[in-house]
Amino acid sequence: MSPETEQEPDQVALLARLRAGEERAYADLMQLAGPRMLAVARRFLRADQDAEDAVQDAFLQAFKNLDRFEGNAKLTTWLHRITVNASLMKLRKQKRTHEVNLEDLLPRYGDDGHRDRLVPEWTESGADVVSVGETRAAVRAAIDRLPDSYRNVLLLRDIEQLDTAETAELMGLSINATKTRLHRARQALREILEPHFSKEVSA
């Protein structure tokens, strides 16, 4: 992966055309960055229509703020941030009805600080899955079971690869709360995945 500060020549040329207001350049930008933006929006928003709306919001915001784009990031990286933000805004407008309590997904301990049961060793690829595609689908389904406030932090940090400060800002959390939430989300995800990856034959 190239460093984010490195400008790609075709993106520099495209930016110049956009700033000149060339009509065709808008369509070119959508073709260049749009497919990935839609994939990002789909991770946060479950309905295709919502994801497309978020991408539309993101593009319109980007077009409006083109002169505020500083050349020190890649154009596509800048658009990625705008898309994540537009997706979170959209998500905030819809309340999920059946949110699980994270506590129910976290490990339990006895008074002596030991786990309530032994932690099994995990296999390399998952004992009961036959393909990489199936493994990934199982992990996506597991992530989807997390409460939104935890799922979003996990998506932002581990999948969208934003840093802690950026994630904290987008979520309106402190740095420490962001770290705690990421750790809890990973712990809960680990518990959900354990039956798939445990070396012991499931009891």
Q: Which residues bind another protein (CB under 8 A)?
A: 1, 21, 23, 26-27, 30-36, 38-39, 43, 52, 55-56, 59-60, 63-64, 107, 109, 112-115, 118-122, 131-136, 139-140, 143, 154, 158-159, 179, 182-183, 186-187, 189-190, 193-194, 197
User: In sequence order, which ranges of 45-128 are alpha helices (DSSP H)?
Assistant: 48-64, 75-93
Name the minimum Å distance from CB 188 to another protein: 10
Instruction: Indicate the residue among 18 and 170 with the shorter CB distance to another protein.
Output: 18
- Quote the least distance from Cβ 114 to another protein, whole Å: 5
Taking the complex as a whole, how short is the minimal distance between the CB of residue 36 and another protein, in angstroms? 5
Look at residue 122 and give its three-state secondary structure: strand
* CB-facing half-sphere around the CA of 196: CA atoms within 13 A: 20
Both tokens of 50, joined, read 């919502």
In this complex, which beta carbon is closest to another protein, that of residue 93 or of residue 114?
114
Q: What is the Cα Rg of the chain in Å?
A: 20
Residue closer to another protein, measured from CB, 92 or 199: 199
* Shortest distance, position 108 Cβ to another protein, whole Å: 10
- Using DSSP's 3-state secondary structure scheme, residue 198 falls into strand
Measure Cα distances from 61 to 36, 71, 78, 79 in Å.
17, 17, 11, 10
